[in-house]
Amino acid sequence: MEWVLIKNLKNYPEREVEVKGWLYNKRSSGKIVFMIIRDGTGLLQCVLMKKDRPDLFEQAEKINQESSVIVRGTVREEPRSPGGVEMQLTDIEIVNIADNYPISLKEHGVDFLADRRHLWIRTPKQSALLRVRSTVEQACRDFLHQQDFVLADAPIITPAACEGTTTLFEIDYHGEKAFLSQSGQLYNEAAAMALGRIYCFGPTFRAEKSKTRRHLMEFWMMEAEAAYFDFEDNLKLQEGLIYFIIRTVLDKNKEDLKVLNRDIEKLEAVSLPFPRLSYTEAVEVLRNKGREFEWGNDFGAPDETEISTNFNSPVFVHRYPTKIKAFYMKPDPSDGKVVLGADLLAPEGYGEIIGGGQRIDDLTLLESRIREHNLPEEAFAWYLDLRRYGSVPHSGFGLGIERTVAWLCGIEHVRETIPFPRTLYRLYP
């Protein structure tokens, strides 16, 4: 008999097929039993009448939550069921009867669930989030490959800091001090000088000391870098990517967004080009809303929410003060106090999802910035070589996957957008 995934069952009306999964829920009246089976692609309602198959009915009664089962039966259209079909059972094969399952279908506290993250991811909402995440990651790759970008994986163990020294995770590398990567950018710049347009995609690490709903210690970043891309080329690439991701998720994850109760009109309203505000204009916006904000300070989460709240699409905030941005950002030729960097702020209060900009391509300036930031010059010697041998204007950016998924799914906290989050006080499971 053909093994069919639940999400594909609608293509098998009136056919007898097999589904392999786990029992999510069960209701029985003593005469009729409804079993909800999950297989990772969706939920399927299975029906069995006692009078039709008393032997099978007895089997069904034994199966408890999260027992693994293979069910066989005829697929029927049923608009009221999840996925629009149900299965009239003709056979049940028990693979494993589960112990008493700790996560019941009632509400549980977040700590209780986080301690059981390895099981929590089986619930419909968590599975939906992880499927959206998978789509987002694949969409990033598809889009960049369409644009002729080459994947160049960056190292995880590194000798130097990319994003400031305050959030480094230090490790002992055979007696030498090393760090977990905060960003693949510096290596991306080298790869871009070799291959033109490149990206890396992997985990990055920040020893963030603050506990917020936007910060993880380990998060995944898609970082693109392109030789001969100026600031403007870079913004165009970013908005094209985000737009492509949204359209792909709307196309592939409609059912998941429904499970998540996401208001998809908000996503459908996103359009190109994205609005842009300079940092200075953004400060004006805050002041006009009655906030006291000093030019030169960095925006906090409430500021970002306030700035983005008037837009349906993500908004670029560009040309930040040099002092609050990373050492590698190129000064704006028409105003030395600001840099050609931009953050992309998601709507609905989700804050920064992308950070990027044009890089310093001049050797002398870069050397002095490394000194000003008290960065160890030896560790950056190789990076300076990139400005010695055929330096060109170049730009890039990093997209945080977890924040992007949180926004697209409309959920409160990034910890639910990654299979096994690493948060300030949690390293288990």
Q: Which helix (H) or strand (E) holds 388?
A: helix 381-388
Question: What helix, strand, coil percent values describe the chain, rounded to 5?
Answer: 35, 30, 35
String of contacts with ligand 4AD for each residue 222-251, x by CB under 6 A: -x----------------------------
Q: How far is CA 187 from CA 86, 154, 155, 159, 235, in A?
A: 52, 6, 8, 12, 21
Contact residue for ligand 4AD among 262, 325, 330, 403 (CB under 6 A): 403
| 304 in contact with ligand 4AD (CB under 6 A) | no
Instruction: Please provide the DSSP assignment of 123-161 as one string.
Output: SHHHHHHHHHHHHHHHHHHHHHHHTT-EE-PPPSEESS-
| 303 in contact with ligand 4AD (CB under 6 A) | no
Nearer to ligand 4AD, 212 or 280 (CB): 212
Nearer to ligand 4AD, 98 or 324 (CB): 324
Contact, 234 vs 398, CB < 8 A? no
Contact residue for ligand 4AD among 199, 398, 407, 411 (CB under 6 A): 398
Minimum Å gap between C-beta 186 and Mg ion is 16
For the chain, the distance separating the N- and C-terminal CA atoms, rounded to the nearest angstrom, is 38
The binder of 185, among ligand 4AD, Mg ion, none, by C-beta within 5 to 8 A per type, is ligand 4AD
Minimum Å gap between C-beta 82 and ligand 4AD is 32
Q: Which stretch binds ligand 4AD (CB under 6 A): 126-134, 288-296, 395-403, 421-429?
A: 395-403
| 219 in contact with ligand 4AD (CB under 6 A) | yes
Contact residue for Mg ion among 82, 314, 351, 355 (CB under 5 A): 355
The binder of 303, among ligand 4AD, Mg ion, none, by C-beta within 5 to 8 A per type, is none
User: In sequence order, what are the residues at sequence separation of 6 or more whose Cβ sits closer than 8 angstroms to the Cβ of residue 23?
Assistant: 35, 36, 37, 63, 64, 65, 66, 67, 69, 98
The binder of 400, among Mg ion, ligand 4AD, none, by C-beta within 5 to 8 A per type, is ligand 4AD
| 352 in contact with ligand 4AD (CB under 6 A) | yes
Minimum Å gap between C-beta 398 and ligand 4AD is 3
Both tokens of 419, joined, read 């299979």
Both tokens of 84, joined, read 């629009």
Distance between CA 146 and CA 159 in Å, rounded?
Answer: 33
Distance between CA 125 and CA 413 in Å, rounded?
Answer: 13
Minimum Å gap between C-beta 225 and ligand 4AD is 7
Nearest in space to 219 (alpha carbons), one of 423, 4, 395: 423
Contact, 62 vs 95, CB < 8 A? no
Which amino acid is it at 345?
A: L
Contact, 354 vs 308, CB < 8 A? no
Nearer to Mg ion, 178 or 342 (CB): 342
String of contacts with ligand 4AD for each residue 164-193, x by CB under 6 A: -------------------x-x--------
Minimum Å gap between C-beta 352 and Mg ion is 5
Helix (H/G/I), strand (E/B), else coil: 256:
helix
String of contacts with ligand 4AD for each residue 256-275, x by CB under 6 A: --------------------
| 208 in contact with ligand 4AD (CB under 6 A) | yes
By the criterion CB under 5 A, which residues form the site for Mg ion?
355
By the criterion CB under 6 A, which residues form the site for ligand 4AD?
162-163, 183, 185, 206, 208, 215-216, 219, 221, 223, 352-356, 396-398, 400, 402-403, 414
